[in-house]
Amino acid sequence: MGTDLTDEQIKFVLQGITVPPQPQIMVDLQMEQLSPNCSLQNIAKLISQDVGLAGSVIKTVNSPFLGLSNKITSVKQAVNLLGINSVVNLVNGLSIRGELSDDNIVAMGRFWDSAMEVAMASAAIAKQIGFFSPDEAYTLGLFHNCGIPLLMMRFDNYMEVVHHAYQDPDHIITAVENKQLNTNHAVVGYYVGRSWNLPNHITRAIHEHHQVEKIIDNDNEDHQKKTLLAILKMAEHICGLHRILGDTSEDYEWQRIQEAVLLYVGMSEYDFTTLSQSINEMGIGVSQFV
């Protein structure tokens, strides 16, 4: 049975940092609501494709209103716990707040597409290597770059900075952002994740997802977070994030961390190539080759 939220509770949840939802997903959700066969499963599937909606739903289910002892990371679990009425009301509230100009919709298109691709690839990799929670891998893949649209709205030249960062062979991406903007998408994403009540190990992974080699080499770091970050980096490379967001044919970050990542997960370069091909055959990450 779902938990019906009051209008006041929904207003409280929608306060703070909000990543705009994709307009097409909002249309699809509205159509689903009107369907006589409307189901929580279909709604959860649609919400899982959007960073802003997924974040708001998880924030809601992890809020003090429900008083859960353990934080939820799966959109499917969150939707089932909230129930159809609360989820529909929450989505309708976001549709009012999430209106974007045509220019912003075009600018954010690559971010939305890449988030979904990396999330699906992360879940597939998690299953392939036997990680216990593909849902958590999906969640990190979907949310890890959630700071990007906020910085895109804050700085007119943000995507130019991102291009420079990905095209720099000597410095990590966030270091280039820090130098030019005095902040970076990983830090902003960390605070977004915290505002959404994501579990601590997920928010820390968001914060550190461009420091993977250092994290993996640190014996004091949590094994779960290390594995999630290794999965994420493999997914980013397979999906060609350096092409999609960085506008470059060279994945300099992967070149720096590949050896450490593959060694950590116990995979050879041949194994990784085979894994990449397997995921591409699922229709994930193939757009980079078009």
Domain boundaries, the chain: 7-97, 108-284
Per-residue pLDDT of the chain (290 residues; tens, 9 = 90+): 455 545 565 454 445 556 777 878 877 887 887 788 888 899 999 999 998 889 888 888 887 766 777 888 889 988 888 888 778 777 766 654 444 555 666 667 788 888 989 999 999 999 999 999 998 999 999 999 988 988 888 888 999 999 999 999 999 999 999 999 999 999 988 988 887 778 899 999 999 999 999 999 999 998 999 999 999 999 999 999 999 999 999 999 999 999 999 999 999 999 999 999 999 998 887 654 33
User: What is the pLDDT at residue 14?
Assistant: 42
Q: pTM for the whole thing?
A: 0.77
Are 288 and 244 spatial neighbours (Cβ–Cβ below 8 Å)?
Answer: yes
CATH class of 108-284: mainly alpha
